[in-house]
Structure 1
Amino acid sequence: MENVTDETSNPFGMSVPGGAAYGYGDANADFHFIGDSPARHGGATTGVPFTETEAGRRLQSVLHEVGFAAEAYSDEPRLSNTFLSYAHPGVTEGEPTDAEYADQERFLDAELRAINAHILFAVGDRALAYALDQHTSLLDKIAPDTAARHAEQVRGRGFLVVPVREPEEWTDADRAALVSTITDLLDSDYRQTKGVATTIG
């Protein structure tokens, strides 16, 4: 079922106290990238996830290479088949506390349900811990370590989860591995991932 909205930024009308980098992109996307927060991955000023930081520039360059972004970098990227969200969208002075992450998880939950993508890309360890806990039964079997599992495919409950190492830590090989994984998924019948049994990919 397609979402009937042309809105790119905050298409579902979320309201986060104090300002936020709201979910952004194609509301009918099959590929959903989950980052950490504006404090870690940028967007406190622009209101757009994965902007204003080196992490954002590196991730956007990959999105451009695989055909998801019209530009290599923009503060208002033109995205297709891709949606960007944060585990904690709210703007804070420093990194959010554990309690603040827990409080704002509901915004991510709502966006995940609304977008209903096929593939979740968990950028950073906190996003991976969330994806493993909420969308697989593997948190007790797989450590939420994106450096160790970068660009692997982990099959979960209704989603395929792809861990993504912190972009600021990428080597050339890390970047190439992520591009290769996305390209392979685009070349496959990735829509069959919905509802698959939980296995380690």
Structure 2
Amino acid sequence: MDAHQQDTANPFGMDEDCENCPALCETREQVVHGYGDVGADFVFVGERPGPGADQTGVPFTGDSDSEAFLSVLRRLGLCASPADSDEPELHNAFLTYLTRCRDPERPPTDEEIRTCEPYLNAEVRMINPEIIVPVGERALAEIATEYTTTPAEEFDIAEHHGEPIRGRGFELVPMVPPGDASDERTQTFVESFSELMASDYRQTKGRRSR
């Protein structure tokens, strides 16, 4: 699988007509694969497409929660487009989800997350980022299970928000979804992540902890 960096949307050419989860095929508008810079140091992983992404086909776009998220990326210098852009210009950032399809009535099942796991694993393997940012509690639980030796239940998104966590091969920085966060909590993340970006974070890769 090769990356096509001229294509920021689904740059790895993943199946856009995936039918591995029949129930979701009936409720989704489209499959939403990853989007952004395939050479990124930072990969942001949400739980599932929001209502906006289900329409646009681009992760973290198309609705008010997405605008709040992209506003944070703008403040960090990772996004050069307005927060309401449906095709944001990203620098050093890649956006993706645990699952690629949306049911408007419920979150994804454990089975659906397992079924989609090869897509996420392939993106992470191809990009080989320095930092993975789980956005939300479910993303934190799944990413922590995959990339740390600590039981996922020991992590709490509110407690570990913006706090670097060294894992197996990648450092994790959990993020409360900006659409659900107070201004103060959002500011905390921006300040913490800005400090990390200004540090020698590339030297931490491969260290094992937690």
Normalised by the length of structure 2, the TM-score is 0.87
Output the CA distance in 1 between the equivalents of 2:79 and 2:61: 13
Identity of aligned residues (%): 40
SS of residue in 1 equivalent to 2:174: strand
Contact kept in structure 1, 2:141 and 2:153, CA below 8 Å: no
Post-superposition offset of 1:26: 0.3
Q: Give the CA RMSD over aligned residues.
A: 1.8
SS of residue in 2 equivalent to 1:151: coil
Distance 1:27 1:195, change over 3 A: same
Post-superposition offset of 1:64: 0.6
Unaligned runs of 5+ in 2: 20-24
Post-superposition offset of 1:168: 2.2
Post-superposition offset of 1:9: 0.5
Query: Where do residues 97-112 of structure 1 align in structure 2 (5 Å cutoff)?
Result: 97-112=109-124
Query: Where do residues 27-106 of structure 1 align in structure 2 (5 Å cutoff)?
Result: 27-39=38-50, 42-73=52-83, 74-94=85-105, 95-106=107-118
Post-superposition offset of 1:167: 2.1
2:133 is matched with 121
The letter of the residue matching 1:34 is V
SS of residue in 2 equivalent to 1:158: coil
Distance 1:102 1:3, change over 3 A: closer
Output the CA distance in 1 between the equivalents of 2:129 and 2:204: 10
Contact kept in structure 1, 2:134 and 2:143, CA below 8 Å: yes
Cα shift readout 1:16-63 (whole Å, capped 9, x = no counterpart): 334311100000000100001114x74001001111222211110010
Contact kept in structure 1, 2:5 and 2:37, CA below 8 Å: no
Greater shift after overlay, 178-187 or 90-99?
90-99
Post-superposition offset of 1:141: 6.8
The letter of the residue matching 1:56 is S
Contact kept in structure 2, 1:147 and 1:166, CA below 8 Å: no
Output the CA distance in 2 between the equivalents of 1:36 and 1:193: 26
Normalised by the length of structure 1, the TM-score is 0.90
2:205 is matched with 194
Cα shift readout 1:67-106 (whole Å, capped 9, x = no counterpart): 1001231110000100001000123343322221221111
1:8 is matched with 8
